[in-house]
A and B are shown apart, each in its own frame.
Chain A
Amino acid sequence: MQCKSFIKREYLRLIALGGIIVFVLFPLLSLVVNIKGKDLAFVFSDENFYLSLFNSIRYTFISSVIATLLALFSAYLLDASSLKHKNFYVTVLTFGMLVPTLSIGLGIRVMFGTNGFLDTIFGLKVDGIGYLGLILGSIISSFPSTFLILYDALRYEDKGPYDAANIMGISRLSTFFHLTLPYLKVALVSAFFASFTWIFSDYGIPMELAGKAKTLPMYLYNEVLSSFQYGRGAIAGLFLLVPSIVSFLFDLAFKDNSSAEKQKKLVKPSKSFNWVTIAVLCLVAVLLFLPQLSFVFLTFIKSYPNDMTLSLINIRNMFFGTYGLGIGQYVINSVLLAILTGAIGTSFAYFLGYLAVRKSGRLAKVVNLLSVSTIAIPGIVLGIGFMFLFKSTNGIFYGTIAILVAVNVFHFLGTPFLLAKNCLTKINRDYEIIGDTLGISRFKILKSVLIPNSYSTLIEMFSYYFLNSMITISAVAFLCTYSNQPLAILINSYEKSSNYEMQGAISVTILCINVLFRVLFNFLKSTLRKNERKESENHMTLSRYQFELLTYLEANGKGRYSQRFLSDTLTLSLGTVNKLLKDLHELGYVESNSESELSISDKGLKALEPYRVRKAIILAAGFGSRLAPVTLDTPKPLVTVNGVRIIDTLLDALVNKGITNINIVVGYRKDQFEELKKKYPTLTLIENEEFNTSNNIVSIMKCIDMIDRCYICEADLYITNPDVIRKYEYTTNYLGAKVKETDDWCFKKSNGYVMSYDRGGEDCYQAYGISYWNEEDSEKLKADIKKVYNSRGGKEYLWENVPMKIMKKNYKIEIRSCHKSDIIEIDNFMELVAADPSYRNYPGSEKF
């Protein structure tokens, strides 16, 4: 059994490794194998080869220097600014990633070329085809990825030093040279290499723009596809590999892919800086969008450059026109290819990431290295490798959509692999061990723990594969036959027949499909995030400490609360307060403004809402015999102490906290309570005629169905600290004050909860008649009181004995502690006199 699963596991790993070997290493080997002596002799004496090589190096170098600087500038400005919606700017600046390089080349060609838009419309003669066009196209096409490398690096920079520099009065320019650039050193070189590799091995731009100039990828392309000189192509391919290998080795040695948590900048840049940023980014965006504008425009032109009137004829032609294209078939090819590549590639890359991260040993290292190294292989090289290796399988593999899927899966493997790896690294490493001890298989852990926690990464991986499959031409160009040709390659075919409008129309189609899917992917991701948040909110009962902090902020309003202050006030450790604030900020429950004033947010208020105290039930039916003679004609709650009716102290406190649903059960001298309604119009009086013959359980039975998230209070508490009544309560509790000794009702505490409830005790909490019942306990309480009431002699009970004694097991009642001086208990005439000396000579008092 054990042995079997062991074999199975090894088997899977070997398949994964085998895939890389067959589809990456073998094609590369076949490249070398295909080179013959005479090819070497030919190529190295071929003037064209040298011309192409040197030309390639020259324009690639110039373009990538400019592209890197432009990207650096844009990334720095965007990162340093305090603009909102930065993701929007990133989307705009990387929009070019959604179209094939051929389309970018085409756009520039018809914009700047002879008889181009500028020429025909404005009479501006720019010799676009040739060197300048080549450089411009290369910059535009390599900008997005270069920009992303730098922007990502900047986002993970620790911004603390900038604050320090700002406070020391060091200028922004100086920090740029002394902090930013040194920090970016590695990323800059890496971005330059990425840009260089990209431009060096791309043949889409040169195909449209090189004119008579020669480049190495075109040399390869012509040798292989026009002259069928595979060996010569292979030699060119090896040369194309060189910069990518250098770049790869550099990244391997220096680049740190880990993303640490960064410190956000506190000091915000000035408004003018933001405006400069916007201006610069707009300029860059205009440059980037030029080619796209121009090919969109081109699509709607009758016949470029002869008849520049607007028309929809190209669109019509594309679908059913004289060329008989039947664009539908190619769209299906392309989308099918992209979806298959996405699905298979994502699964494969995720599995490789799993092997590399969640397994140990040499195999994991090999898998890691091999997978990452696929980044170093230019598509054009992998493409001819595939062609050499699989040409003989024509019809079975070669020439089908399968080979295109395969080449794309491996060509684009590197980035999704890194995404998967990054995601899986962040998931706790101990799950497998836990699973082992619990008897849950590795596969089950992968299926029900790891994958559900990687959904958003999986979408990102799929999206990467999809979008790239839609635009790539480099590898697939060598593997297409008539039947499996995707859209992007079609542009290539029309380039050969110089049909510009149709190239434009196809570019637009690709762009539309990509935008559509991009929107879909983003929608999926945001739905995922929203669901998570929603679920959070639904299930989000606040933690105790979160509750305490939020209610404190709610009660005390906006202010500059230091963590130290909060820690002292809420009696929490400083570390706890720090973490609390971080969590609450993340949840969006608290917000702080630029003056670092802290306040509760609307969302925070919403989160508190379930804890809001809904109502109060006040039991005021009793006679209050112990306060005679005062209570002979006035019910105890209505006795005035220092000019205030006792019950008013409670009612004021309730109303003050927004609790206006107040229900008073009255009995003895009930008419006198009507007077209260003048001052408190929202209160309801409920009658209990049996007040004289039974205990207070009868009173509570009168309003039993009202019990729900409410206070239940006695009516004779003279409240001196109105804060014993709170707007929000976390859970069921009973108010009590710690005392050394008492002969009153009191409870003992264990773990913060009421353990026992008795009359008289030492070192206990004296019970004050204010309790709160949460939703769940309210339900229980209703049922339990009814049960006791209906039992024999049920009317003789005190209601509080039901949850506190008789059915104690059903409840967990917290002790909410207050100070003894917060409430003055006036239980007998002497205490009344002590509280209000004016009663000293009350008529009839001498009898008592």
Chain B
Amino acid sequence: MENKILSIRNLKKKYGKRLVLEDISFDVNRGEFLSLLGPSGCGKTTILRLLIGIESPNSGQIMKFGEDITSLPPSKRNIGIVFQNYSLFPNMNVYENIAYALKERKFSKEEIDRKVKDIVEVVGLEEHIYKKPRHLSGGQQQRVAIARTLVLNPDIILFDEPMSALDADIKVVLRALLKDIQKKMHITMIYVTHDQEEAFALSDRVMVLNDSRIVQFDTPYNLYHSPSDDFVKKFIVKHLDMKVKSIEDSINAM
């Protein structure tokens, strides 16, 4: 079986006259945790929207398991997505939120129940199963959103800056959960963020984007130790160095 789950070939996307993606090509391995990292407006969210299928590229190809899915509708791609704003269905409780898509797929009641309960345990929400989203904290809501996608057993889950609305301590816990899920369930995850640390903490590989193109696509180690150009140097290396320095300073100040 091929190890590549996704092959992206020469994607190009324009909004009107504005070019947002230019000649994007990359491969994603099975079970990999991949981050798309870059300043706002670099095109990372657009890549996500193309992968999920809510927008189509002007040219180029998206292949999943060697099959062209470029013009397949979102529901046929078996790719899940988790948004920054959770987007839970507000009138449904945790259970219903997760079960909804299963019901649509005509699973039996028992099967739905089993699947939902299993997944709820994975994300650690057993206590909150009958609560409505507005009664949950941001972190809990994001867990529901992850569970809702996870329950359909997707090949890939995309994350669109899922943690930028959360408190720092919750972020750390959620990151660990994500890593855990990824390892246990062997799901490929593609994660959009503008936060260098987050990308480095989570990813097997990080794709650095700037001005509509890929600047460097490598492991965190290589990105840090051999940045390909000045942008990467400034955006990654210098940023992380500064961060480390500020932590050292504050420790010294104590």
Contacts and interface: CB of A to CB of B under 8 A. Distances in A.
B49 to A, nearest CB: 9
A543 B85 CA distance: 19
Nearest to B101: A438
B87 A431 contact: yes
A654 B74 CA distance: 59
Given A433-B81, A453-B91, A575-B167, A540 B135 contact: yes
A448 B91 CA distance: 8
A339 B93 CA distance: 34
Contacts of A541: 128, 131, 135
A437 B74 contact: yes
Contact of A436 (B74, B85, B135, B152): B74
Nearest to B49: A433
Given A437-B52, A438-B152, A536-B132, 17 more contacts: A430-B87, A436-B73, A436-B74, A437-B75, A437-B149, A439-B101, A439-B104, A440-B100, A441-B104, A448-B91, A448-B92, A449-B90, A449-B91, A453-B90, A453-B91, A535-B132, A536-B135
Q: Interface on chain B toward A: helix, strand, loop, or mixed SS? A: loop
25 contacts: A428-B87, A428-B90, A430-B83, A433-B54, A433-B81, A434-B81, A434-B87, A436-B74, A437-B79, A437-B80, A437-B81, A438-B104, A438-B149, A439-B104, A439-B152, A449-B92, A453-B91, A535-B132, A536-B135, A539-B93, A539-B131, A541-B135, A545-B137, A575-B167, A751-B173
B119 to A, nearest CB: 13
A737 B100 CA distance: 44
Contacts of A428: 85, 87, 90
Interface of A: 2, 428, 430-431, 433-434, 436-441, 444, 448-449, 452-453, 535-536, 539-541, 543-545, 573, 575-576, 751
Interface centre among A439, A539, A543, A545 (most CB of B within 10 A): A439
Interface residues of B, number: 36
B53 interface: yes
A575 B148 CA distance: 28
Nearest to A575: B167
Nearest to A776: B127
Contacts of A449: 89-92
B225 interface: no
A569 to B, nearest CB: 17
B18 interface: no
A272 B91 CA distance: 45
Nearest to B138: A579
A430 B85 contact: yes
Interface string B60-92: 000000000000011101011101010101111
A432 to B, nearest CB: 9
A603 to B, nearest CB: 16
A447 to B, nearest CB: 11
A314 to B, nearest CB: 50
Contact of A433 (B52, B128, B137): B52
A430 B83 CA distance: 8
Interface of A is mostly: helix
A364 to B, nearest CB: 16
A452 B91 CA distance: 7
Contact of B132 (A438, A448, A539, A545): A539
A573 B105 contact: no
B209 to A, nearest CB: 21
Contacts of B244: none
A318 to B, nearest CB: 46
Contacts of A437: 52, 74-75, 77, 79-81, 149
A604 to B, nearest CB: 16
Given A428-B87, A543-B137, A440 B132 contact: no
B64 to A, nearest CB: 14
Nearest to B124: A751
A428 B52 CA distance: 18
Contacts of A433: 52, 54, 74, 81, 87
Contacts of B26: none
A453 B87 CA distance: 13
Interface string B136-175: 1100000000001100100000000000000110000100
Nearest to A573: B167
B130 interface: yes
Nearest to B96: A448
Nearest to A583: B134
B130 A539 contact: yes
Contact of A2 (B73, B91, B131): B73
Contacts of A439: 75, 101, 104-105, 152
A436 B75 CA distance: 5
Contacts of B105: 439
Contacts of B132: 535-536, 539
Contacts of A441: 104
A225 to B, nearest CB: 50
Nearest to B89: A449
